[in-house]
Chain A
Amino acid sequence: DGGITQSPKYLFRKEGQNVTLSCEQNLNHDAMYWYRQDPGQGLRLIYYSQIVNDFQKGDIAEGYSVSREKKESFPLTVTSAQKNPTAFYLCASTPGGGNTIYFGEGSWLTVV
C-alpha cells in the first residue's frame, strides 16, 4: 500500500543531543512537509520541499534542519539549538499544485 512512513513513533532525547526523524513516502509525491504540533494546538510548518535537493524554511525553522536527497525521503533533524523540542511531529506530502496533502502517523519526541 502507498503511504507515508514515519519512524520512530516515540523518541527520547537528552538535552544537547541532535536527533533525526525519518519520513519516507512511496506515493511518488513531489512535495514534502514537516509540521510540529503541540498538545491542544494546531499545526505549524517547520520546513517544506517541493523538489529534490531544494527545501524552504517554514514558520518555525529555527533549531531544525532537513535534507531532500531523494524524492521519497525527507528526514528532519532536531538540533540542540531547538529550545523546546518536545512535541508531536508530522510529515506530509502532496503531488504538488495545491492538491491534497497526506500525512504520516507522526512521531513523538520527548526531551528528558
Chain B
Amino acid sequence: AQSVTQPDIHITVSEGASLELRCNYSYGATPYLFWYVQSPGQGLQLLLKYFSGDTLVQGIKGFEAEFKRSQSSFNLRKPSVHWSDAAEYFCAVGSYGQNFVFGPGTRLSVLP
C-alpha cells in the first residue's frame, strides 16, 4: 500500500537554527515527491518537487530537499529558519495516473 510517514508531529527550533523535516514513503511505482507548507486557515503552497534527475532540489523560501532512493526518504532542509517559517509542512508522493498520498504533517514552531 502507498503511504507517507512524517515521524515528527511537532518540531520546535530557534530562529536562525537549521531545520530538517523527515519524510519516508512506501510506493510501488517511481514516485514524484513534493513538499507543501500550510499556514493556519490557508491552503497548501508548493515548496518544491522532485520528478527525476538531480536528487537535491531547491525550492522557494530557501528550502531544499534530498531524495534518497535507498532510504525511501525525501527530507526537507533549511540552513537558517526564520520566524515566518512557522507553519505545517506536508510531504506528498504521486505518480503518473495515480492520486497523491499526503503525510500527516509536521508542525514547525520557531522560538525568537
Binding site for B on A (CB under 8 A): 4, 33, 40-43, 45, 48, 58, 88, 90, 92, 94, 97-106, 108
Contacts and interface: CB of A to CB of B under 8 A. Distances in A.
Q: Say which size band chain B's interface belongs to.
A: 20 to 34
Given A97-B96, A102-B46, 11 more contacts: A41-B104, A42-B105, A48-B99, A98-B95, A98-B96, A98-B98, A101-B92, A103-B44, A103-B45, A104-B43, A106-B42
Nearest to B46: A100
Given A43-B90, A98-B95, A103 B102 contact: no
Contact of B97 (A45, A90, A98, A106): A98
Interface string B53-84: 00000000000000000000000000000000
Nearest to B94: A98
B25 interface: no
Contacts of B103: 42
20 contacts: A33-B99, A40-B107, A41-B105, A42-B105, A43-B90, A48-B99, A92-B44, A94-B100, A98-B95, A98-B96, A98-B97, A98-B98, A99-B32, A100-B34, A100-B46, A101-B94, A103-B44, A105-B43, A106-B43, A108-B41
B100 A101 contact: yes
B9 to A, nearest CB: 9
B29 to A, nearest CB: 9
Contacts of B94: 98-99, 101
